[in-house]
């Protein structure tokens, strides 16, 4: 094999990559050493702003295969026939820590999936939990600030974490999930994924349905205890990345089965609790899981920066037959996710290979900007409407319209008969085995006992008492015992 020639960014061959140009053998470096200046300047600019949340992540390519007929619920083309396969890219992540954080920590996991469909990219941006801590996006920056490093101490503070939860009773359900056995997945392969939000599907007849997505791992759910996680972090802070990479390299391709819960749109208004509240699940007895297909991961990225760090997801990337619901947290994410990537990667981030459509042609009037690679031909106009056969609108909405009524203003969501911040957290607690309850109580007490303010502790204890009397009693006793030690 012949030796490849090292070049500068402009393509000129590099004569010496070991020694800088100097004024004489022992003299100072010369400003004319273009290779040195270019190399140092590029090195200074190697990093881009990391994600504020979900900074630490891993990814893989694969495919989604339809196994069951769902055309009665959606006209999405990639779901239109059994056996149909669509290329995918997935990014798993932790939420609160920075890019250099460890994988095996107690934290929700991002489960962001990009379908490269022939009608454009569809992004399903979820988590490994079916619920979330808050129900309104106006609280999201405050929530994240409470979970991230304190601006004075430079570390995550139990006072901040539990103070926010104390004043946000709707978080009780997700706190119960997070502090339970599934709070630290053993690997990305051994956890479930959820769309978490409620979405809308529309069929060919124009009938609308609300759906929730459930990806059930075919490897089985496996989790780590707090002690096992601490040991794992000590051995390999990149444990989940290592596991995913090596599994796929060995040909052990992880897979998930996708199910959906389906609710006819007409039922939503009178459902016993708000079906668009992301702090709640839909009971399976009301809306059973219906199988859709399977997700298989079979290829690792060639370059983690180019394909994982630069991967950009937005829940606003829908395809015909799929759309949003009135879920307020989802509505906020429709703007915030895409805007975060415009800040991090630039206005043309959708032209990067990992983000660009693969089975659909992009044809619009977006032009120019930093790192633009798509310009069109010299005959193309950059405005619309025009008389030059440029791309035109279809007039066909992606999803059914959502009915709205009432006065503008900052409203709380309308109350349904069984809306409650604590009932489902109690239901989850009562589903747990005795051992699971023991570990849940120990995990909560371990964090809550570190809080320095008694009133914050009391507010949190009241939430657990409201969820279940035994739950509250046991947490209260465990916190008291730890604080007396």
Active site residues: 54, 127
Residue 132 structure tokens:
């979330």
Rounded CA separation 360/345 (Å): 22
Chain CA centroid to CA 185, Å: 15
């Amino acid at each position: 094999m012949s030796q490849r020639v090292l070049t500068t960014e402009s393509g000129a061959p590099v004569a010496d990559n070991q020694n800088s140009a100097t004024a004489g053998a022992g003299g100072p470096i010369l400003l004319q050493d273009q290779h040195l200046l270019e190399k140092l300047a590029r090195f200074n600019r190697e990093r881009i702003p990391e994600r504020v949340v979900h900074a630490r992540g891993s990814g893989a390519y694969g495919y989604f295969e339809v196994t069951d007929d769902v055309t009665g619920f959606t006209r999405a083309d990639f779901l239109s026939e059994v056996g149909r396969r669509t290329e995918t890219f997935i990014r798993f992540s932790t939420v609160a820590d920075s890019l250099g954080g460890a994988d095996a920590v107690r934290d929700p996991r991002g489960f962001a999936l990009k379908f490269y469909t022939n009608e454009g990219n569809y992004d399903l941006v979820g988590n490994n939990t079916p619920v979330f801590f808050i129900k309104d996006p106006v609280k999201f920056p405050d929530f994240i600030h409470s979970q991230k490093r304190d601006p004075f101490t430079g570390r995550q503070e139990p006072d901040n974490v539990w103070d926010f939860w104390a004043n946000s009773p709707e978080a009780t359900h997700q706190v119960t999930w997070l502090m339970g056995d599934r709070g630290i997945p053993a690997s990305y392969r051994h956890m479930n994924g959820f769309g978490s939000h409620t979405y809308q599907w529309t069929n060919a007849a124009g009938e609308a349905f609300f759906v929730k997505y459930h990806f059930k791992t075919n490897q089985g759910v496996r989790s780590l205890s707090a002690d096992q996680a601490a040991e794992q972090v000590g051995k390999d802070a990149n444990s989940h990345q290592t596991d995913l990479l090596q599994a796929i390299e060995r040909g052990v391709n992880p897979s998930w089965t996708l199910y959906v819960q389906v609710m006819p749109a007409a039922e939503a208004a009178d459902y016993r609790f708000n079906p668009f509240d992301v702090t709640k699940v839909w009971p399976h007895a009301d809306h059973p899981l219906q199988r859709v297909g399977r997700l298989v991961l079979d290829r690792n990225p060639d370059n983690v920066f180019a394909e994982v760090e630069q991967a950009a997801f937005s829940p606003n990337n829908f395809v015909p037959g799929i759309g949003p619901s009135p879920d307020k947290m989802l509505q906020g994410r429709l703007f915030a996710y895409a805007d975060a990537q415009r800040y991090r990667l630039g206005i043309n981030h959708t032209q990067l290979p990992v983000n660009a459509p693969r089975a659909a042609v992009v044809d619009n009037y977006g032009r120019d900007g930093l790192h633009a690679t798509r310009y069109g031909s010299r005959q193309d106009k950059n405005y619309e409407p025009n008389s030059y056969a440029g791309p035109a609108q279809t007039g066909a909405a992606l999803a059914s319209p959502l009915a709205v009524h009432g006065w503008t203003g900052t409203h709380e969501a309308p109350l349904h008969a069984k809306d409650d911040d604590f009932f489902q957290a109690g239901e989850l607690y009562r589903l747990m085995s005795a051992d699971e309850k023991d570990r849940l109580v120990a995990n909560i007490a371990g964090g809550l006992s570190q809080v320095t303010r008694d009133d914050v502790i009391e507010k949190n204890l009241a939430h657990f008492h409201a969820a279940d009397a035994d739950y509250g009693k046991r947490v209260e006793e465990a916190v008291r015992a730890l604080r007396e030690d």
